[in-house]
Amino acid sequence: MKHNTHIYLAHKSIEFLYDSLGDLRQINGKKVNARKKQKIRREAKSLQRIFISHLDRISEASWAPDDIICDKSIFHIFKLFTEDEFSDFNDYAKKTYKLNNKNYYLASGSGGLPYKIDHLSRIISDMLKLRKYNDSFSMQQIMYQFFLLSHYIIDAHVPMHCDIRDDNPGKNKPKNGKYYKDRWHGKLEQIWEKACTPIGISEGIITRERSKDSLDKTSYSPLVTFDIDKDVKDIKTYCLEPRDLMDYTIRLCINSKERNLRLFPISDPNDMQEKELKKLTRKIFADSIGNLVSIWVCIWCQNQ
């Protein structure tokens, strides 16, 4: 995702942090029992208040991984492939992940996004523990890390980040199949950026920094609009244990891969499906908020 989109989604996740836990589920979809849910919501409420007093850090921290840390080509992606796309899949599969009886393969050098999310989550958790023990870290430093983490979680929802066909063919990559031209990735993220920017500006979330930050809404803007009075039902949140995080984020990346297969069909990946993009945009944005809330709350609650 691009600059304003990251800022926008981090803000929206804070706004929905409490309300979206009203229908908190276990990973298997079952309801969380009322007492546990009440406890989690109470703790999430205090996290929300602390976030609100550090809002000024979001615009830098949620963008720092692209801008300052620059670990894009390793930790913002997890580029999977399947045997349906490449007949020589077996020659390049360094790791195999399974979901719903389907195999997803990772070639060497194709990214470690779930590892980064898992690792950063553990670091934040450690910082919270050390803060309690000897006041080693300020709340400002910890909030900064929470916002930094948001970048990687949001990026896992970008379908193109989880599909090897988004790369140019080359060494260590399967050859007997079709890739799509690299112009799409930037183009689709730009569509979302243009959709979010006018809403973010009108809601006071995004500061207008350039004349090209347009105030005019696009046809995609309604799809990325989340109103706390009307849209809570679209945001799904899950009660996660720290030990679940790794598998959860891998599943999230597999889900993004499946979405990319809808956008870029195997038979002709250059024939990008704009109708699917419209359908998927709402889900991608709603899931970004729901999963960010779920992971933030998981890290916070284990340390309360």
Residues that bind Zn ion (CB under 5 A): 66, 76, 155
Q: Smaller CB distance to Zn ion: residue 155 or 258?
A: 155
Q: How far is the CB of 145 from Zn ion (least distance, A)?
A: 16
Q: Which residues pair with 97 in a beta bridge?
A: 104
Q: How far is the CB of 162 from Zn ion (least distance, A)?
A: 13
Q: Smaller CB distance to Zn ion: residue 66 or 213?
A: 66
Q: How far is the CB of 146 from Zn ion (least distance, A)?
A: 16
Q: How far is the CB of 178 from Zn ion (least distance, A)?
A: 25
Q: Which residues pair with 95 in a beta bridge?
A: 106
Q: Smaller CB distance to Zn ion: residue 236 or 259?
A: 259
Q: How far is the CB of 284 from Zn ion (least distance, A)?
A: 15
Rounded distance, CA 49 to CA 258, Å? 36
Q: Which residue is nearest to Zn ion (CB)?
A: 76
Q: How far is the CB of 2 from Zn ion (least distance, A)?
A: 9
Q: How far is the CB of 72 from Zn ion (least distance, A)?
A: 6
